[in-house]
Amino acid sequence: MYLYHDYSFLQLCFKILIISHFLNEKLSVFPKAIQDVIKKYVAERDRNARILSKLLLMDGLSYFFPNEKIDLALLQIIGKQVYQNFPIHFTSSHSEDLVIVAFSATGQIGIDIEFKKNIDTGIFVDFLHVNEEKSIEKSFNKIALFYSLWTKKEALIKSCGIGINADFKTIDCSKDKTDFNNQTYFFREILLDDNYSCYAASTRKKIILDYKEIFLDYNNHFS
C-alpha cells in the first residue's frame, strides 16, 4: 500500500503473506552482511518482515528515483537513514503481519506500527510522561490510548534518529505535536486496521495521505 504526503512523502504498507520460499529467494540477492543479520531472527515472521521491509525500501527508492540504479549495498546503512545519492529520509516498522516503510524528501520522518495486545499498561509507567499517565488514568480505553502514545514516541525518536538512547519519560506525546531537542514534531495517525496503532511523526505540520494498494508478485517485487 502506498501513502503519499504532498507527493514528496511515500509510505508503503504490506500485509505479510507467509511465502517462505519466495522470500528466501529474495533474501539471497541481498549483501551477505544483511543476510547474516536477518538470519539471526529465530521467528519466521520476524525474518519475513525484515525481508519485506528491504523490498519495500528498494521499491520506494525506485519510485522516487526511476532513472537511478539501486545499489543493494546501500541497504547496509544504519542509523539516521538518509542516503547521500538519494536526498530522502526513510524509516520503517513492522508488527505481527504488517510492514510499513515511510519516505520523505521534504523533512525528517519517523513511523511506528504496533499490534494492540491486551497488556497491563501500568508496567510501562517508567516510560510515560506525567501528562501521558494522567491521560491513560482518565481514559475509558486505556490499552488503545497507551498504544497511540507508544507509537507516537517510537515514530518521534525514529524521526530524530536517536534510537534507543531516548528517555521516553521526558517525551510528552499526549497532544498532536510535541517539542523535542529544540524541534517541533507533528503526529498523524494512520488508520490501517482496527487491531493496530500506527503513527507518523514529521517536522512538517501537515501530513496529507492518499492510499494505493500494492500486491506481492512472485516474479517482481510488487504489482
Q: Whole domain around residue 19: which residue ranges? A: 2-212
Residues with Cβ within 8 Å of 223's Cβ and at least 6 positions away in sequence, in order, are 214, 215, 216, 217
* pLDDT tens track for 23-61: 778 888 888 888 888 889 888 888 888 888 888 888 777
CB neighbour class for 206 (10 Å; exposed up to 12, middle 13-18, buried from 19): exposed
Domain count, the chain: 1
CA 147 vs CA 43, 137, 144, 189, 193: distances in Å: 23, 14, 5, 11, 13
* pLDDT tens track for 78-101: 444 545 566 777 888 888 878 888
Percent of the chain with pLDDT over 70: 75
Q: Once rounded to an integer, what is the mean pLDDT over residues 119-141?
A: 92
Phi-psi region of 26 (alpha: psi -120 to 50; beta: other; left: phi over 0): alpha
Q: Comparing C-alpha atoms, which of 119, 128, 170, 179 is closest to residue 149?
A: 128
Q: How confident is the model at residue 73 (pLDDT cuts 50, 70, 90)?
A: low
Residue 180: pLDDT over 50: yes
Q: Comparing C-alpha atoms, which of 222, 151, 138 is closest to residue 191?
A: 151
Q: Comparing C-alpha atoms, which of 136, 170, 135 is closest to residue 153?
A: 170
pLDDT at 19: 56
* pLDDT tens track for 134-144: 999 999 999 99
Q: Once rounded to an integer, what is the mean pLDDT over residues 121-147?
A: 92
* pLDDT tens track for 182-208: 899 999 998 888 999 999 998 887 766
* 3-state SS assignment for residue 202: strand
C-alpha cell at 24: 528466501
Residue 222 lies in a domain: no
Residue 218 lies in a domain: no
Percent of the chain with pLDDT over 90: 26
Residue 114: pLDDT over 90: yes
Mean predicted lDDT score pLDDT of the chain: 78
pLDDT at 72: 66
Residue 223 lies in a domain: no
Which region among 4-8, 46-50, 131-135, 174-178 has the lowest average model confidence (pLDDT)?
4-8
Residue 172 lies in a domain: yes
Q: Comparing C-alpha atoms, which of 164, 152, 167, 165 is closest to residue 201?
A: 152
Q: Comparing C-alpha atoms, which of 71, 79, 65 is closest to residue 31?
A: 71
CB neighbour class for 154 (10 Å; exposed up to 12, middle 13-18, buried from 19): buried
Residue 217 lies in a domain: no
pLDDT at 176: 93
pLDDT at 64: 77
Residue 221 lies in a domain: no
Residue 105 vs residue 75, higher pLDDT: 105
Residue 30 lies in a domain: yes
Question: Which CATH number fits the domain that encloses residue 32?
Answer: 3.90.470.20
